Chain A
Amino acid sequence: MAKQWFKRDEKEKKSLLSDKIFKFAAAAAGAYVLAVILIIVLQLGIESMPIWEEEGIGFITGTDWNPVPGRESFGAFPYILGTLITSAIALAIGFPLSIGIAMLVMIIPKKIGQPLGYLVELIEAVPSVVFGLWGLFVFRIYFRDLVEKPLHDMFGDSIFLFGGTPFGLDIMTASIILAIMIIPTISSISREVMMAVPQQQREAAYMLGSTTFEMFRMAIFPYSKTGLLGASMLGLGRAVGETMAVTMLIGNTTGLRAIPQSLFDSSQTMPSIIANEFIEASPVSLHPAALVGIGLILLAVGLSINVAAHFLVARMVKVNEGPIH
Chain B
Amino acid sequence: MTYTDRQQKRAEIRAMFKSNVRRRLWVDKIVVGTVIVCALMAIIPLIWILGTAVYSGVPALNWEFLTGKPGAVGAGQISIGPAIQGTVIIIALTSLIGLPIGIMGGIYLSEYGGNSRFAKQIRFFMDVFMQVPSIVLGIFAFLAIVLTLGYYTVWAGAIALSFIMFPIVARSTEEALRMVPWTYREAGAALGLSKMVITLRIVLSQAKKGILTGVLLSISRVGGETAPLIMTILGSNIFFSGFDSSTDALPLRIWRLSLQPYDEARIAGWGAALTLVIIIFAIHLGVRYFFLRDKSGKGLRGVLRG
Contact = CB atoms under 8 A, between A and B. Distances in A.
Contacts of A29: 100-105, 107-108, 170
B133 A240 contact: yes
A16 B300 contact: no
Nearest to B31: A213
Given A26-B108, A30-B105, A18 B139 contact: no
B102 to A, nearest CB: 8
Contacts of A117: 297
A282 interface: no
A100 B38 contact: yes
B136 A40 contact: yes
Nearest to A294: B139
A123 B46 CA distance: 6
Contacts, number: 304
B258 A248 contact: yes
B281 A114 contact: no
A180 B47 CA distance: 12
A100 B49 contact: no
A32 B192 contact: no
Contacts of A247: 255
Interface string B151-181: 0000000000001001100100000000000
B302 interface: yes
Interface stretch (B8-16, B67-75, B88-96, B265-273): B265-273
B300 A129 contact: no
A212 B269 contact: no
A237 B305 contact: no
B276 interface: yes
Interface in A6-55: 8-9, 12, 14, 16, 18-19, 22-23, 25-34, 36-37, 39-40, 43-44, 47
B36 interface: yes
Interface in A94-142: 96-101, 103-107, 109-110, 113-114, 116-120, 122-123, 125-134, 136-139
A30 B108 contact: yes
Interface magnitude class on chain A: 35 or more
Interface in B103-152: 103-105, 107-109, 111-114, 118-119, 121-122, 124-129, 131-140, 142-144
Interface magnitude class on chain B: 35 or more
A200 to B, nearest CB: 11
Interface stretch (B58-66, B206-214, B226-234, B237-245): B226-234
Given A40-B137, A278-B142, A306 B131 contact: yes
Nearest to A7: B189
Given A130-B53, A132-B255, A192-B299, A33 B230 contact: no
A33 B105 contact: yes
Nearest to B120: A314
B306 interface: yes
Q: For the complex, would chain B's binding face be called helix, strand, loop or mixed by DSSP majority?
A: helix
Contacts of A31: 122
Contact of A302 (B41, B132, B166): B132
Contacts of A129: 224, 226, 251, 254-255, 258, 273, 276
Given A8-B190, A39-B140, 20 more contacts: A16-B194, A30-B104, A30-B119, A30-B170, A40-B137, A43-B140, A43-B143, A101-B42, A104-B35, A109-B306, A125-B220, A125-B280, A125-B284, A126-B46, A127-B224, A134-B49, A138-B48, A237-B131, A248-B255, A306-B127
Interface of A: 1-2, 4-5, 8-9, 12, 14, 16, 18-19, 22-23, 25-34, 36-37, 39-40, 43-44, 47, 96-101, 103-107, 109-110, 113-114, 116-120, 122-123, 125-134, 136-139, 180, 183, 187, 191-192, 195, 199, 202, 206, 211-215, 234, 237-238, 240-244, 247-248, 271, 274-275, 278-279, 291-292, 295, 298-299, 302-303, 306-307, 309-310
28 contacts: A5-B185, A8-B190, A25-B104, A26-B111, A27-B108, A29-B105, A29-B170, A30-B119, A33-B105, A39-B144, A43-B140, A98-B42, A103-B31, A118-B296, A126-B280, A127-B224, A127-B251, A129-B258, A130-B49, A133-B258, A138-B52, A180-B42, A214-B28, A244-B255, A247-B255, A274-B135, A275-B230, A278-B142
